Amino acid sequence: MARCGSAGGPARPAGLGPGAVLDYRDPQNWRDKAWGGAKVLWAVDPTVTGLVLIHGKRIDGPDALAFEDPAIPELRIDVDTYQGLSGGWKDYPSYTRLRAPGCYLYQIDTARGTSSIVFVARGPRL
């Protein structure tokens, strides 16, 4: 397994800070108050077709990871119907939702296979 703070793959979060760090905020401005979160822009390689499924988990503890507002367990990007950037990587805005800081893993499934991105989340414990 990749070490905490590594990123790569045909679909990846474009906004992680240096060392693959995601800074998230408390839930005061979210509809779903059970989760903190951060806006995450996903970039998808132009050669990827079909559905991109993204889910995740904390790998150094029991806490969950979710997406969007209200929180859902899996992010689904249909790159064939999404009108992202033309001629290059497609962008897809989303939210990652967390309840505790730690080391997390995004698992990205495409028709080409599965890749993982490991990152550090920093923010409040809820």
- Please report the domains of the chain, with CATH numbers, ordered by start residue: 11-122 (2.60.40)
Per-residue tens of pLDDT for the chain, all 126 residues: 455 655 567 888 987 766 789 999 999 889 999 999 999 999 898 888 899 999 999 999 999 999 999 999 999 999 888 766 556 788 899 999 999 999 999 999 999 899 999 999 999 998
pTM, whole model, 2 decimals?
0.88
Residue type, 28: Q
Nearest to 50 by CA among 15, 14, 88, 10: 10
| Cβ atoms of 56 and 107 closer than 8 Å | yes
Instruction: Reduce the DSSP state of residue 28 to 3 states and report it.
Output: helix
| Cβ atoms of 75 and 107 closer than 8 Å | no
Nearest to 55 by CA among 29, 40, 32, 74: 74
- Pull the structure tokens for residue 120: 């550090």
